[in-house]
Amino acid sequence: MNRYLTIHIPETSAPAPVSHFLRTQAGLTKKQISQAKFRPGGVQKNGQQCRVTETAYPGDQITVCLETNDVDSAQLESAPAPQFLPELEILYEDQDILAVNKPAGIVTHPSGSHYSDSLSNQVAAYFRSKGESTKVRSIGRLDKETSGILLFARNQTAAARLQKQRESGISEKTYLAAVSGSMPEDTDGAFHRITTPLAPDPKTRLKMVISPDGSLPGSKPAETLYSVLKSTAPDSRISASLVMLRLKTGRTHQIRVHMASIHHPVAGDPVYGPHNCITSLHGQCLHAKTLGFVHPITGEYLRFDSDLPDYFTHFLATLRRKNP
C-alpha cells in the first residue's frame, strides 16, 4: 500500500518553500523529495498537489508520498516462498517497520547456496501474503548461527532514518552470549572494552581475524563492550560465563572474533573456538536480546526484547545447577 506522511507547519514558523519543511520537519533528503514528486499524490499542500518550490505558511498541512505499492525486490519476488523455514516470529509491526526474532541457522540475506531460504526471502513472502510488494530492507544483519532481533524498514524514508540512528549510535542493541571459560563477574555492572581491529583472514575467505596493529589487508577498527553477568566456579565440570555485549562498530563476526581473541569463544561456535569451546550444543549461544530506537516516522522511542532459543536456555540452566 502507499505510505503517506503528513506534517503541520507550526504557527511560529516563518513562511518558506514546501521543500524546506520537507527537509527540516520530515527529514527527507533532496533525492527523496525529488522521487516523491513522481509518486501517486506526490506532494500536496492543504489537500492540493503542489510544487515543492511553493511557499508554505503557518497552519498549512503538507502531505508527501513516501512509498508506493509497486516497489519490490526482483530477486526476492522471483524466489519461491520458503516453506521449509520456521514460522516468522513477529515482535512488532506497523506500516513503517517490522521487527522479528530470527532463529539460528538462517542467513539474513540471499547468497550463493542460500538464494531462496534466507530470512529476507521469508519476510518478502510474508509481505506478499498480505498483498503487499514492499521492498525488503533489513537494518543491519545477523550471522547465520546468531539468533535474535532483526529490524526491517517498510519504506525508503524509514530505512534511511533507522540506518542513520544505527551509524550514529542512537539505537541500542544488547546481545547475550555464553562463552567458554570462567570470568570474574562484574557485580557493579561495569563494561570492559575490546578495541582490536579486525580483517578478513588471508588464508580463509569466510573467516575474520584480529589485526592488532591494523596492518593486515582490509583491516577496520572494531569496538566491543562486554560485562560478565554470571560465571561458573573455576572447578566446575563445564567452565563458562554469561556475558552481555554491546557493539560500537558492526564488523563481520565481530563478537565471535573478539571474544575468541581474549580466549573466551562463544559456546557452540565451531569456527572460532573448535579446540577449547563448548561444542556439544544444538546451536551457537549468541543472541541479539534487546533493541531500542526512535521510531523513524512517529518519533516514539521503542524497545523490544526477544526470548532466548531453547538450547541456550537449557544450557544456562545447566550452568545454574553447576554453580547455584
Please, which residues have CB within 8 angstroms of residue 128's CB and are 6 or more apart in sequence? 77, 81
SS3 201: coil
Give the integer Cα–Cα distance in Å for 114 and 107.
7
d(CA 252, CA 208): 7
Instruction: Assign 98 to helix, strand or coil.
Output: strand
- Residue 124 makes CB contacts below 8 A (sequence gap 6+) with 73, 76, 77, 79, 136
323 neighbors 233 (Cβ within 8 angstroms): yes
Tell me the one-letter amino acid at 75.
Answer: Q
Catalytic annotation present for 143:
yes
Cell of 182: 570462567
The set of cell numbers assigned to 120 is 529476507
- Interacting residues of 236 by C-beta distance below 8 A, sequence separation 6+: 182, 319, 322, 323
Q: How far apart are CA 239 and CA 176, in angstroms?
A: 17
By DSSP bridging, strand 172-180 and strand 286-294 are: antiparallel
Provide the residue type at 78 as one letter: S
Strands 286-294, 147-153: pairing kind: parallel
Which residues, 6 or more positions from 299, have their beta carbon under 8 angstroms from its beta carbon? none
Residues 60, 96, 143, 269: which is the catalytic one?
A: 143
The amino acid present at 238, given as its one-letter code, is I
Here the cell at position 100 is: 522479528
HEC assignment per residue over 220-255: ECCCEEEEEEEECCCCCCCCEEEEEEEECCCCCCHH
Which positions are catalytic?
143
